[in-house]
Structure 1
Amino acid sequence: MKFGPLSNETYKKILRFYLVMGSILLIIIFILYTNNYMQKRHLEAQTVPCLYGEYVHFKIEKKSDSGLCDYVEENIIGKIDYPVIVTDAEGKPLSWKNIGVLNNTDYNSLPESDREIIREKLCELKSKNNEVILTPVNDKSKIIGYVYYRESGDIELFKIVRYIELTVVFIFILIAFYISSLIKKIEKNNIFISLVKETSHQLGTPIASLIAWIELLRLKEPVPETVKVLDFMKTDVELLQKISNRFGKIGSKIKLKEEDLLQVIESVILYFDNRLPRMNNKIKIHLISKLKNNKIIMEKELIAWTLENIIKNAIDAMVEKGGDIIVLVFQSKDTVYIHVKDEGKGIPKSEFHKIFEPGETSKKRGWGLGLSLAKRIAEDYHKGKIKVLESNAGEGTTIEIALPVLKNIPGSDNLDIEV
């Protein structure tokens, strides 16, 4: 069986798989290595306290050579830099280091305050579970004492460092996946921008020709009914021209100016009112405005385009059963809100964000550009927000557009925005 060449997407999936598996393998190796290292260091850490305990007991019993005792005290015991307490078999402290009490006298000769410090430190070290049992070489069943200690600072630090390093590895993996996802989105976005601009370029000539042909027909056929039809045709062709111009603005600089938002919304609703389905089930669009001041800083053609996309989707969702579309406009503090509520099929909650991604569509026809461009216009160009405010299956959906009022910005009546 022969297989064709792998696609770029397949290569990306394979690369992503190996990246995940490599990261998991790296984490496993890191954990195994650090655990093995910690076990070795733990055993090494037990050796010195054990030697210290044996030294104390041998010195008490006067079994060790004085020269050897001096060597052990200077080169081994003297280098202990962590708390250690040696006790006899009954738990009475015999010797101690690095606990804040000098180790130059018998425990019973110490002041009560120093003995209290030793007892408290002994309880603390016992709770650490770092205990060495001292037994004679020739009788392992007999216990002659205990050594309690806290592991050295470098081991304690390494315990913390390994978790920090593991966290850094996870963060690195997350960043790698985020960058990969971001690059994919940028590539997808650039493809759609190129497609949009090319569409605008290709539509320009035939639209201009259609306008010319309509004017010619108007001159040759001055019959009232024909003129009325030609007027509707001209309106539709002019809308095509507007759409072409809007496509051309994607990826270019635009100017934001103070415009009448209510006027823009009314013109969009009027356009749809003249073309809504009139058979069987009816669809009606209602506008409710609570604005005190209709003027905001915006690019009116792009805002109109955004509303057209949202209302068109609402109509498509209601085409089978009809119903009402409510457009509510109001202002709260420095933000103007536009709510478009329909009585359509509804949107699953899992797809609330997905519907605004380029190429995402549930329709048989279309590129899935409408809502993605609406999101770009609202958020990137006007620094606002667009989202699914609420949606219930079989009851309808409410889309919210939030646009900031930019009147307080100096020169806001002529803002250049790179889009």
Structure 2
Amino acid sequence: MFKYSFGYRSKVAYIFIGSVIGVISLLYTNYLARELMRKEQFEIDLWARGIALWNYIDPRSNTEREINLSIANNVTTIPAIMTDDYLRVIEYMNVPKEIIDNPAKLRSTIEHMCNSPDRQPIKIITPEGVELTVYYDDSSLLKSIIFFPYIQLGLIGIFISFAFITFRSSKQNEQNRVWVGMAKETAHQLGTPTSSLLGWIEYLKSMDIAPEATDEMSKDIQRLMKVANRFGKIGSTTQLSRVDVLQEVSRTVDYFQTRIPKNVTLRIEKSCTGELDAMINPSLFEWVMENLLKNALDALQGKGDILVWIGVRDKWAVVDVKDTGKGMTKSMYNKIFRPGFTTKTRGWGLGLSLSRRIVVDYHNGKIFVKESEVGKGTTFRIMIKKA
């Protein structure tokens, strides 16, 4: 389950507000575009009639000529072509002359002008009975208005995405600071009782007690000190050193060998000989191995097998942790690495999340579910670049 998550309602509110603004803008701009389209159709109709009647106006009537000329000159932004029945150009405006002089380009332009159902050619009959046809296109202003809402929607989408990412990043940074503070405080609180326990171990060694018991107790105390040290390093700069991965993994497996249930077998296989060096932080890398082995033990539920395989893949040192536990579906492969996600009744769901951060962020490596099948088990893979 998720114990920590980004506010679902906040995300819905952002999306809803952005969608409402976008829809209102789109509807209003569409209304303006249609009004402008009707205005341009009216202007083209006037222009066409003015051109058709130009030669039939009484030359002595200056008023009629001025009105007609004013109508023709006011239509300055709309591309239009007037032709006769034989597609011969009678008049044109706002269309390049090279298109008018090229029959193929002219026909292509006229076909484009006829493509829109909102732009029907205008038929004009001259006083002589000649039918003229006017083809026209949207003005640059109308085209801008038509495309503007889509640009606006894109900008709104970018704004919402930016706001969401910024808010989530701020939330994550705040949570990270809380976790770092808790981790350092935990390390501090563990320090005092651990030191006291070391003193009691030395006292027990001076008494007549089996050395095996005190040795195992010492190992557990050393483990507690390592845990405290790990918590103390969270949020600090990670120091990497050249370490033999084979030896580091073997040490962790050996520690678990004496602490697993009797019905669980833990084996280690090495497909390479000699040393397998990589730049790692031993304490943090050991933490990752412990998390994977603990998860494997939880999946087995007291009975089954765990195999730790160490090998090389090109430039990578590879460690596989395979169990015969309950397994998982593919949909869970990425979810299990999210902070707060856990399928257990206890725990904070941070083990695998911390493991991914240690491997990916601190070691520039990879950690992922290699394979898993419900009822048969899971294999986790760690990949660290060789030194």
Fold match (TM-score > 0.5): yes
Relative to structure 2, which stretch is displaced further, 60-69 or 387-396?
Answer: 60-69
Q: Secondary structure at the match of 2:284?
A: helix
When normalised by structure 2's length, the TM-score is 0.87
Q: Once the 2 structures are TM-superposed, how far is the Cα of residue 335 of structure 1 from its aligned partner?
A: 2.5
Matched, 1:397 2:355: no
> Structure 1: which amino acid aligns with 2:151?
I
Matched, 1:19 2:14: yes
Within 1, Cα distance between the matches of 2:201 and 2:364? 40
Q: Once the 2 structures are TM-superposed, how far is the Cα of residue 50 of structure 1 from its aligned partner?
A: 1.2
Q: Secondary structure at the match of 2:320?
A: strand
Rate the CA distance shift 1:134–1:63 in 2: closer, same or farther, 3 A: farther
Q: Once the 2 structures are TM-superposed, how far is the Cα of residue 213 of structure 1 from its aligned partner?
A: 0.7
Matched, 1:296 2:278: yes
Question: What percent of counterpart residues are identical?
Answer: 32
Q: Counterpart in 2 of 1:273?
A: 257
Matched, 1:169 2:156: yes
Q: Counterpart in 2 of 1:29?
A: 24
Matched, 1:232 2:219: no
RMSD, matched Cα:
3.1
Q: Counterpart in 1 of 2:293?
A: 311
> Structure 1: which amino acid aligns with 2:186?
T
* Unaligned 5+ runs, structure 1: 1-8, 104-109, 137-141, 408-419
Within 2, Cα distance between the matches of 1:227 and 1:100? 101
> Structure 1: which amino acid aligns with 2:19?
I
> Structure 2: which amino acid aligns with 1:358?
P
Q: Conserved in 1, the CA contact under 8 Å of 2:52 and 2:124?
A: no
Q: Counterpart in 2 of 1:44?
A: 39
Q: Conserved in 1, the CA contact under 8 Å of 2:322 and 2:380?
A: yes
Match of 2:313 among 332, 336, 339: 332
Rate the CA distance shift 1:57–1:286 in 2: closer, same or farther, 3 A: same
1:81-160 equivalences in 2 (<5 Å): 81-88=77-84, 93-101=89-97, 118-129=106-117, 130-134=119-123, 144-160=131-147
Q: Once the 2 structures are TM-superposed, how far is the Cα of residue 84 of structure 1 from its aligned partner?
A: 1.0
Corresponding residue pairs, total:
380
Q: Counterpart in 1 of 2:73?
A: 77
Q: Once the 2 structures are TM-superposed, how far is the Cα of residue 295 of structure 1 from its aligned partner?
A: 1.5
* Bigger RCO of structures 1 and 2 (CA < 8 A, at least 6 apart): 2
Within 2, Cα distance between the matches of 1:268 and 1:116? 80
Q: Conserved in 1, the CA contact under 8 Å of 2:329 and 2:374?
A: yes
Q: Counterpart in 2 of 1:208?
A: 195
> Structure 2: which amino acid aligns with 1:26?
I
Relative to structure 2, which stretch is displaced further, 10-19 or 361-370?
Answer: 10-19
Relative to structure 2, which stretch is displaced further, 144-153 or 66-75?
Answer: 66-75
Q: Conserved in 1, the CA contact under 8 Å of 2:81 and 2:136?
A: yes
Within 1, Cα distance between the matches of 2:355 and 2:6? 32
Q: Conserved in 2, the CA contact under 8 Å of 1:342 and 1:398?
A: yes
Within 2, Cα distance between the matches of 1:373 and 1:309? 9
Relative to structure 2, which stretch is displaced further, 201-210 or 247-256?
Answer: 247-256
Q: Once the 2 structures are TM-superposed, how far is the Cα of residue 263 of structure 1 from its aligned partner?
A: 0.6
Q: Conserved in 1, the CA contact under 8 Å of 2:48 and 2:124?
A: no
Within 2, Cα distance between the matches of 1:119 and 1:81? 21
Rate the CA distance shift 1:246–1:233 in 2: closer, same or farther, 3 A: same
Within 1, Cα distance between the matches of 2:73 and 2:330? 68
Rate the CA distance shift 1:31–1:292 in 2: closer, same or farther, 3 A: farther
Matched, 1:321 2:295: no
Matched, 1:257 2:241: yes
Q: Once the 2 structures are TM-superposed, how far is the Cα of residue 169 of structure 1 from its aligned partner?
A: 1.0
Q: Counterpart in 2 of 1:3?
A: none
Matched, 1:375 2:356: yes
When normalised by structure 1's length, the TM-score is 0.81
Within 2, Cα distance between the matches of 1:189 and 1:177? 18
Within 1, Cα distance between the matches of 2:75 and 2:318? 72
Relative to structure 2, which stretch is displaced further, 88-97 or 282-291?
Answer: 88-97
Q: Secondary structure at the match of 1:254?
A: coil
Q: Conserved in 2, the CA contact under 8 Å of 1:134 and 1:143?
A: no
Q: Once the 2 structures are TM-superposed, how far is the Cα of residue 330 of structure 1 from its aligned partner?
A: 2.5
Q: Secondary structure at the match of 1:344?
A: coil
Within 1, Cα distance between the matches of 2:385 and 2:189? 34
> Structure 2: which amino acid aligns with 1:380?
D
Q: Once the 2 structures are TM-superposed, how far is the Cα of residue 66 of structure 1 from its aligned partner?
A: 4.9
> Structure 2: which amino acid aligns with 1:131?
Q
Q: Counterpart in 1 of 2:347?
A: 366
| Residues 213-234 of structure 1: per-residue CA shift (max 9 Å, x gap) | 111011122x4xx321121111
Q: Conserved in 1, the CA contact under 8 Å of 2:246 and 2:275?
A: no
| Residues 110-146 of structure 1: per-residue CA shift (max 9 Å, x gap) | 9xx656654443333223442243468xxxxx99543
Q: Counterpart in 2 of 1:284?
A: 266
Match of 2:48 among 34, 47, 53: 53
Within 1, Cα distance between the matches of 2:348 and 2:246? 30
Within 2, Cα distance between the matches of 1:317 and 1:11? 29
Q: Secondary structure at the match of 2:331?
A: helix
